[in-house]
Amino acid sequence: MNLRRFSLLCAVLAACSDDSSPADDTDGTGGSATTPGSASGSASESATTPGTATEGDSTADTGATDPDTGTDDTGPVIPTDHPRIYLNPDNVARLTAALDDGQPAAVRMREMVDGQLGGADYYEFQAADAALIGALTGDASYCAYAIAQTDAWVTGEEARVANGENAEVAGDSYLYVGDHIGDLSLVLDWCYDDVTADQRMRWIAYADQAVWNVWHPEEATWGGTVFPWSGWSIDNPSNNYYYSFLRATLLLGLASLGDSESAQTWIDTFRTTKIEEQLVPRFTADLVGGGSREGTGYGVAMWHLFQLYDLWEASTGERIWDLSPHTRDSLVNFMHITVPTLDRIAPIGDHARDSTAALFDYHRAYLLVLQHLVGPDDALAPVVQQYLAECSVPEMTQFFMRSVDFMYTDPSIPTAPLSTLHDTWYAPGTGSVFFRTAWQQDATWGGFIAGPYTESHAHHDQGSLLVYRGEWLGYDANVDSHSGIVQGEGVHNLVRIDDGGAPVPMLSEQQPAELVALHDTPEVLYLAGDITPIYQGAAAVARSEREVVLLEDEGTFVVFDRVDTTGGARAIWQLNAPRAPSAQGDGWRVDGDVDGLDILPVWPANVDASVLDWAATDGDMLGGYRLDLAADPGEARFLVVLAPPGAVDVTAVGAGDELGVDLDFASGATASVRFTRDDFGGSLVYAAPGGASLHDGALGPGIDALPLFAE
Span 609-656, pLDDT tens digits: 999 999 999 999 999 999 999 999 999 999 999 999 999 999 999 988
Distance of CA 316 to the CA centre of its chain: 27
Beta carbons within 10 angstroms of residue 614's beta carbon: 21
Q: What are phi and psi of 560, to 5 degrees?
A: -125, 130
Three-class SS state of 563: strand
What angle do the packed helices 177-190 and 197-215 form, to 10 degrees?
150
Residue 103 and residue 410: Cα distance in Å, rounded? Answer: 10
Q: What is the pLDDT of residue 73?
A: 52
Report yes or no: 48 and 28 within 8 Å, Cβ to Cβ. yes
Q: Measure CA of the first residue to CA of the last residue in the chain; give whole Å.
A: 69
Helix (H) or strand (E) holding 141: helix 140-162
Count of alpha carbons within 13 angstroms of residue 577, beta-carbon side: 27
pLDDT of residue 40: 32
Q: What phi and psi, each to the nearest 5 degrees, are found at residue 134?
A: -60, -45
Predicted local distance difference test score (pLDDT) of residue 51: 41
Say whether pTM exceeds 0.75: yes
In 3D space, the residue among 684, 459, 461, 420 whose CA is nearest the CA of residue 552 turns out to be: 684
Neighbours of 564 (CB within 10 A): 19
**Residue 52: per-residue pLDDT:** 42
CA-wise closest residue to 123 among 361, 290, 380: 361
Burial class of residue 468, CB neighbours in 10 A (0-12, 13-18, 19+): buried
Bridge partner list, 670: 664, 687
Domains (ranges, CATH) in the chain? Answer: 1-283 (1.50.10), 287-421 (no CATH), 426-643 (2.70.98.70)
> 608-612: long-range contacts at Cβ-Cβ below 8 A with a sequence spacing of 24 or more?
611/580, 611/581
List the chain residues with pLDDT less than 70.
1-74
